[in-house]
Amino acid sequence: MTTLIADRTSRPPARPENSAAALILHTLIQTRRLLLRWVRNPVALLETLIIPCLLLIMLDTVIGDQIRRFTGTDALDGSVPLAAIVGALSGAVASGILLGRERDAGLLARFWVLPVHRASGLAARILAEGCRILAGTVAIVLVGYALGFRFHEGVWAAIGFMCIPVLFGVAFASIVTAVAVFTAKSTLVEGITIITSLMMFFSTGFVPLLAYPEWIRPVVRDQPMSTAVDTMHALAAGGSLARPLTLTLIWSVGAIVVFAVPAALGYRRASRR
């Protein structure tokens, strides 16, 4: 009996579920759960890795030579950033669909009644999204390297290149999460793919800006996907960086500011059902 009491008193006290240490631990555990689920999900792998890589190969095969003759520059400097951004956005849509399924299955409500930090669920999704997007961007860059893509602006510019899809994708994921937790229809989340497809075809990563009719060029130049692609293009191959980077930060931070609170409130409401 004395030994048992001594063992109990020698153990460190359990961390409160609302402590900072619990938040870090629970966030890492749930991040691992999400990453494992996405790895084992064929749709998530398709949207995150396979389709963007195939898109890059298709763009280089079909219109790569025409763009090189039209601009005199390597088409991969725009195609690789476009494929990375598309992978970030399409993967976020797939994650939003899985989130809706977890809500409908009652998994979010089960986590709510467990001794888990309340903020860890949403924090884990943000961290997992960043890891997913970074892994997808690395895969796309490796495919681009096999096709002839190269960094010409140094190591720090290459690191910035890899960070832009993460920032842009997390901002877009906040929009998808807000939609996914407030609607019971997965078709609405899937419908966002139509918008992203239009953004892809009317972006400077698909074809150069001068290839579009003059009346639509301002829209193509300043829409979010084009600014992100132009920023990555400048970080990889050189060129004007200040304007596209500023617009990318405005678009991304603006989306996070506008949709982060609705996403958090909707996630809390969905978890308590």
The per-residue pLDDT for 273 is 62
At residue 189, the pLDDT reads 62
Looking at residue 69, what is its pLDDT? 80
Q: How many CB atoms lie within 10 A of CB 5?
A: 9
Distance of alpha carbon 97 from alpha carbon 180, whole angstroms: 7
pTM of the model as a whole: 0.85
| Upper half-sphere CA count for residue 182 (Cβ side, 13 Å) | 14
- Say how far apart CA 26 and CA 268 lie, in whole Å: 16
Rounded CA separation 31/267 (Å): 16
CA distances from 20 to 32, 119, 125 (A): 19, 10, 17
Q: Show the beta-strand stretches assigned E in 16-96.
A: none
As a whole number of Å, the end-to-end CA separation of the chain is 45
To the nearest 10°, report the CA torsion of 61, 67, 73, 78: -70
Q: Measure Cα distances from 45 to 30, 127, 166, 229, 245 in Å.
A: 19, 17, 17, 23, 29
pLDDT for the residue 172: 87
Cβ(53)–Cβ(83) below 8 Å: yes
pLDDT, residue 190, reads 64
Q: Which pLDDT value is given to residue 84?
A: 92
Instruction: Give average pLDDT by consecutive 10-residue segment, the chain, 273 residues.
Output: 45 60 82 84 77 88 80 82 89 75 73 73 84 90 91 91 92 83 64 82 86 89 92 90 92 88 76 65
Q: How far apart (Å, rounded) are the C-alpha atoms in residues 193 and 70?
A: 30
Query: By the 8 A CB rule, do 190 and 97 touch?
Result: yes
Residue 239 has, within 13 A of its CA and on its CB side, a CA count of 16
